[in-house]
Amino acid sequence: MLGREFCEKVNEYLSSIGEEKQGIGVIQCNPDQSKHLETARMRLYDIWIDFVNLRSEDYSENSRIPTMKFGTAKDDAYRRDLTINSLFYNINTNSVEDFTRRGLADLMSGKIVTPLAPKETFLDDPLRVLRAIRFGMI
């Protein structure tokens, strides 16, 4: 499901519990400007939240820009930069889902770990090294 569709579902839920529907903004994909993913955005209880579809990615050797396709939550978790960024909150069960089976433990122990082999994760997108360092400094 695209982010926009999910936002519409959130608005249906808000209406069903008597809350006010929220406006949805959509930033269209624009590959000519390196925007390869449609992003929907809405404000919930004074917090702006971005919504995108679950996906898998393939990287070519000479580019940080991946080829994307729809994927599963597990696909999406393993394409993340760090296990602590691969956790999902399931709104149906009110629970955190950890498809890498390491994200919660890494979060609790303060470890910065990649979901795949570090070499693969960092060669796919070298900017991830800086993100790992930034999280390590917090």
| Burial of residue 121, with CB atoms counted within 10 A of its CB: 0-12 exposed, 13-18 middle, 19 or more buried | buried
Are 82 and 114 in contact by the 8 Å Cβ rule? The answer is yes
Those residues whose C-beta lies under 8 Å from the C-beta of residue 115, and which sit 6 or more positions away, are: 77, 78, 79, 80, 82, 83, 86, 100, 102, 103, 121
pLDDT tens for residues 14-62?
Answer: 999 999 999 999 988 876 655 678 899 999 989 999 999 998 878 777 7
Looking at the whole model, is its pTM more than 0.75?
A: yes
Per-residue pLDDT reduced to its tens digit, 69-83: 889 999 999 999 999
Give me the chain's average pLDDT, please: 89
Residue whose entry in the numeric block shows the structure tokens 């959509």: 26
